[in-house]
Amino acid sequence: MKIIVGHMVPGMPWMSDGTLTPLQDSAVWQFRLPRILLAALTGAALALAGALLQAVVHNSLAEPYILGVSAGAGVGAVSFIVLGVGVSSLGIGASAFVGALIATAAVYLLARKNGRIAPQRLILAGVALGSLFSAITSYLTISTDAQNVFSIMFFLLGSVSAATMQSLALPVVALVGVGIFTALRARALNALLVGDDAASSLGINVNRLRTTVLIAAALLTGAVVAVSGGIGFVGLIIPHIARIIVGSDHRRMLPVAVLSGAVFLTTCDLLARTLAAPSEIPLGVLTALVGAPFFLWLLRRDRADSVGGGR
Amino acid sequence: MKVTVDHLDAHRGGRRVIKDVCLEVPTGAVLGLIGPNGSGKSTLLRALCGIDTPSGGTVRYDGIPIASLGRRQLAQRVAFMTQEHNEEFDMPVLELVLLGRIPHGKGFGRDSDADIAHAQRALDQVGARHLAQRSFSALSGGERQRVLFARALTQDTPVLVLDEPTNHLDIAHQLELLDLIRATNRTVMIALHDLNLAARSCDEIAVLADGSLVSHGSPEDVLGTELIRRVFTVESTAVTHPATGQPHFLFDVRTPRDEPQQSNALTTTPKGLSTP
């Protein structure tokens, strides 16, 4: 804490009086702080992307990964590692981002018919392309040198441990940009939850809203996947929790989802770091360990509700 | 607000579903749209309220072609009552009704007191104020229709378009909803299946068969055993209602070449069958 304040505010005594070793200083400022910030940003961004996708495809089981975006990012990153000029994290990030964008564009074009985006087709295209990309990734992984396999697995399983202050820039820009963009459309998204016709009759250009929100969610996912790798289930669980807490009105639900996402992933990262110390559990593994049972519980609960609470 | 329809053509799935329909609905009138399943009622209504763009012809509200209006401007003039509901994302009734204020407000920020007052007035009007905090999914069919109608009222438009709003309702709720609709003093276009109900509740009747308008006028002028035989292929008997003195139709024998499904759909109130 002292160290963070010391970096922010010039002239704090403890920065120069020798009570802190340079090692402590760099451990916090260069490793811990960016790591925590990246975990928070990633959680917030994935939660927001998940909430947006669920609204535009009318399906509460949608999440960023269903679009095949993460699989596309995986192909990008793995290609870079395999063909690699060397293992630079910046290069991996950039190629993952490009892969994510290509995947999004492909899914988007496949899901389009007569100028309209059909939610069902979008999910199917995303799942199919996701499998294709995963297959390519797997092939690249087994056909490459053994030394590369570790970096590949590390990326695919997701981690925020490689965070630096520079690597935060892309997720910050994406989160702020998309955050403002969606805040202005929160009411329109509420109408979209009811249905396309209802939203149209309320004066909303449904197709344009769906397209722009989809692009926004893909950018957000691409930006964090490029930095943190494949972290699943955050985009699925957090919006549900937010809805349970404040209901489905996006004006309240989106901010809550963003905050809960940040808290959730920071906590997961803390556990990933400490549970099996000194070794580290990949973050993607931990979120899946928490996420999968939650998902199944949700499924059971929904069914119980529709039987018990039916009209 | 007067609605004028000129030579309207609409396609659905590559097929011409609405053929050269011309129609005029005076301000404040309730127009009942009747016709067999698949005759194009829904398609026509969707074109009338601008949800779908027609492939030919124009729809005018007080002389202004709706194609020249922005979506928001259009939503301030016409409300479309849909049966849509997504069970996955539940909402409290008041929130659902408040969606009707979207065309009048900004995209963000809290609902204003005026918006909430609008919504509560609409809920009062349909007798559903006590449902305001309930979850929509937990309502009965009759309550749902009333709430959806309240949302259409909250949109505060001079024109209302309703696609079979009496579906799934028992007879008491059907009559109640139609009386609510009549009492709004707006220009209403409504698709109905029950001919006697349409005759009782509408100022004008328009009959659609295979996408063409075959008759339009007052219920007394339009509805008759000959038209019912021709359009619905059902034999009927006209009697005078002993209490109201209005004509009333009894449906009895199918014409020989009739498909059983169609006449069933008419003699019993259809459930879940909607025109494509």
User: Given A55, A183, A203, which is nearest B74 (Cβ)?
Assistant: A203
Q: Provide the pLDDT for residue B255.
A: 58
Q: Which of B25, B11, B8 is nearest to B161 (CA)?
A: B25
Spatial separation of the C-alpha atoms in residues B156 and B167, rounded to whole Å: 24
- Listed by start position, the domains of chain B span 1-77+158-223, 86-156
pLDDT for position B271: 44
More confident: A90 or B8: B8
pLDDT given at position B150: 94
Highest CATH level, class, for A32-300? mainly alpha
Best CATH choice for the domain B1-77+158-223 from the list 3.40.50.300, 1.10.150.20, 3.40.640.10, 1.20.1300.10 = 3.40.50.300
CB contact under 8 A, B99 and A194: yes
CB pairs < 8 Å spanning A and B:
100
Tell me if chain A has a CB within 8 Å of the CB of B219.
Answer: no
Burial class (CB in 10 A: 0-12, 13-18, 19+), A148: middle
Least confident of B122-136, B169-183, B248-262: B248-262
Mean pLDDT by 10 residues, chain A (311 residues): 66 68 73 88 94 86 80 85 68 81 84 76 87 90 80 78 81 93 91 90 91 87 83 86 88 94 92 83 84 75 44 29
Which pLDDT belongs to residue A175? 95
Query: What pLDDT score does B191 carry?
Result: 94
Q: Do the Cβ atoms of B153 and B118 come closer than 8 Å? A: no
Please measure the distance between the N-terminal and C-terminal CA atoms of chain B and give it in whole angstroms: 28
Q: Residue A203 and residue B102: Cβ atoms within 8 Å?
A: yes
Average pLDDT for residues B200-226, to the nearest whole number? Answer: 93
Bond before A278 cis per omega within 30 degrees = yes
Q: Residue B262 has what pLDDT?
A: 47
Tally of CB atoms within 10 A around A131: 12
Position B48 pLDDT exceeds 80? yes
What does DSSP say about strands B3-12 and B56-61: parallel, antiparallel, or unpaired?
antiparallel
Band of pLDDT at residue B69, cut at 50, 70 and 90: very high
Using pLDDT thresholds of 50, 70 and 90, give the confidence band for residue B101: very high
pLDDT (0 to 100) of residue B270: 43
Which of the pair, A9 or B159, is modelled with greater confidence?
A: B159
pLDDT of amino acid B264: 45
Phi, psi torsion values for B188, nearest 5 degrees: -120, 135
Q: With an 8 Å Cβ cutoff, is B74 touching chain A?
A: yes
Q: Where are the domains of chain A?
A: 32-300
3-state SS, residue A275: coil
Maximum Cα interatomic distance, chain B, rounded to a whole number of Å = 62
What is the nearest CA distance from B85 to chain A, expressed in angstroms? 5
Query: Mind listing the pLDDT tens digit for each residue in B105-142?
Result: 876 667 888 999 999 999 998 989 999 999 998 998 88
**Structure token digits, residue B196:** 């006697």
**Contact residues, chain A, for B91 at CB < 8 Å:** 190, 193-194, 247-249
Q: Write down the pLDDT at residue B268.
A: 44
Backbone angles phi, psi at A199, to 5 degrees: -65, -45
pLDDT of residue A5: 66
Band of pLDDT at residue B252, cut at 50, 70 and 90: confident
What residues contact residue B217 under an 8 Å CB cut-off, 6+ apart? B204, B205
Q: Do B75 and A191 touch (CB under 8 A)?
A: no
CB spacing of A186 vs B155 below 8 angstroms: no
Phi and psi for B61 in degrees, rounded to 5?
Answer: -110, 115
Q: What is the mean pLDDT of chain B?
A: 87
Contacts of B105 in chain A (CB under 8 A): 187
Alpha helix (H) residue ranges in chain B: 41-48, 71-75, 93-98, 113-125, 141-154, 171-182, 195-201, 219-222, 225-232, 260-267
Most confident of A178-192, A277-291, B78-92, B248-262: A178-192
Residues 47-106 of A with CB under 8 A from B: 55, 58-60
pLDDT for A116 equals 73
> Which pLDDT value is given to residue B272?
43
Give helix A89-111 / helix A146-157 axis angle, nearest 10°: 60
Interface test with B, best of A187, A201, A251, A303 (most B CBs within 10 A): A201
Check residue A115 and give its pLDDT.
Answer: 67
